[in-house]
Chain A
């Protein structure tokens, strides 16, 4: 009996000693994004087994299983299910950029195209509305993905593509390509793409010209056909003096 009480007391004393260490470690975990609290309301969306697995340190595996299910749903063009599964996947693994990217791609590119070509809906206006709703869902995934991963360039780049290809909003596309380019690990073309997009924006031609010109002057490896075409277009539009224009024969 005395021994049991002694053991219990040791456990409690040990518990009191470890408590501040655990709290400190938890805070570091959160700071380094190793521990994102799982919303307990999430239980309603996930199966009981999946929820238990997610709480037991197997979130990434549960997320993978759901991701594979989402791909199966995509193959069957069950867009509602794809959306639901990707919401679960991104809730489980908010730091996995890949999942946000894939979710946005399915919504803004695949589901939106399917909605526009939906033969079951005879009214074009409603098909266009559905398409726009899917664009918005894709954008929402990307914006929330960026909120969770502000230091990773990939989602900024995808959001830029979304603005460019789906909304035809070159100004915002340029802004997000520029944001991606400013981050470590960005693709080398992000900076160039930002300048290309800006060259399409009415009223920002001077700024675009300066940026494209700087890239052109940076060296041969930047003098790609699109850059030269956009630069020539702006030279004409801005009436740049002949001696300041790029040399045609060089390229």
Chain B
């Protein structure tokens, strides 16, 4: 009899766990509620205010991108926080790990399931946002074109409408929102490996979320202020070293204000996000290997 050689790491096993996790997560009511709420918010942002077209576009973009950012982050934390505690409670984890599945494969599979869910959520929200923005742009363009003005004025007006509506920088901005959510998912996975309940993980992640957005301030203060006492400096150093700089992924404000994202800058930011994600997954693996199950 020929025995199939057992591989230490198998993409097929990871894929099986990821698919299963994804199916489980899509059946969760919280996912449906969050996604529907986000889509409604993005879709209805067009009716929120009746201002000039520039103000309408700005508010639409702010609300839509803000909604995408908060819902993907929330989904990443809520979906990941329950993965391990739920599997322990359902005793599924024992069945899986009793088979020749490495713990790291299990973790990666679980995380991949969440990342797939986040990708679909982001795509749905992104598509909705772009459709709404495009529809608004077309309406304003038609209204502008109907107005009586000289060809020169009409050109200026149409150019102004196009400049304040859809622009290519929205796409990398959405990509960075997704990367930020992935990083939060990996970090949540790390926290959940030593947490006992999903509520604890979620609460810790909420704090990490706020601290992460202030990390840059703490870091600059630590590195620039030599006059502060050693307790303050130690505290700031720990904040700077332990927490990720979540503000680095927050380009929404700049994009809406009209700033452009250079490709090199986007790649660098995305690479930092992937680097964070990889390290937190690795740390989750180290802790999970030592966890008594």
- A interface residues, Cβ below 8 angstroms from B: 3, 6-7, 10-12, 14-16, 18-19, 21-23, 25-26, 28-29, 32-35, 37, 52, 55-61, 63-64, 67-68, 71, 93, 95-98, 102, 152, 185, 187-189, 221
Contacts and interface: CB of A to CB of B under 8 A. Distances in A.
Contacts of B223: 23
Contacts of B247: 35, 57
A98 B219 contact: no
A188 B247 CA distance: 38
Contact of B258 (A15, A61, A95): A95
| Closest 3 pairs (CB-CB, A-B) | A15-B241, A95-B257, A34-B254
B213 interface: yes
A161 to B, nearest CB: 15
A213 B147 CA distance: 30
A55 B217 CA distance: 10
Given A3-B286, A18-B272, A97-B257, A26 B241 contact: no
Contact of A29 (B58, B209, B248): B248
B252 A57 contact: yes
A110 to B, nearest CB: 15
A18 B209 contact: no
B14 to A, nearest CB: 23
Given A11-B283, A57-B246, A33 B254 contact: yes
Given A26-B220, A96-B58, A71 B51 contact: yes
A56 B209 contact: yes
A19 B248 contact: no
A28 B289 CA distance: 39
Contacts of A98: 54-55, 58
Nearest to B286: A7
Contact of B256 (A29, A60, A102): A60
Interface of B: 49, 51, 54-55, 58-59, 62-63, 65-66, 69-70, 151-153, 155-156, 160, 163, 209-210, 213-214, 216-217, 219-220, 223, 240-242, 244-248, 250-254, 256-262, 265, 268-269, 272, 275-276, 279, 282-283, 286-287, 289-290
Given A23-B219, A93-B257, A98-B58, A32 B286 contact: no
A21 B268 CA distance: 9
A16 to B, nearest CB: 7
A93 B253 contact: yes
Contacts of B217: 37
Nearest to B269: A25
B163 A11 contact: no
Nearest to B245: A22
Contacts of B250: 57
B272 A21 contact: yes
B272 A33 contact: no
Contact of A12 (B63, B241, B259, B287): B241
A166 to B, nearest CB: 21
A23 B59 CA distance: 31
Contact of A95 (B155, B160, B254): B254
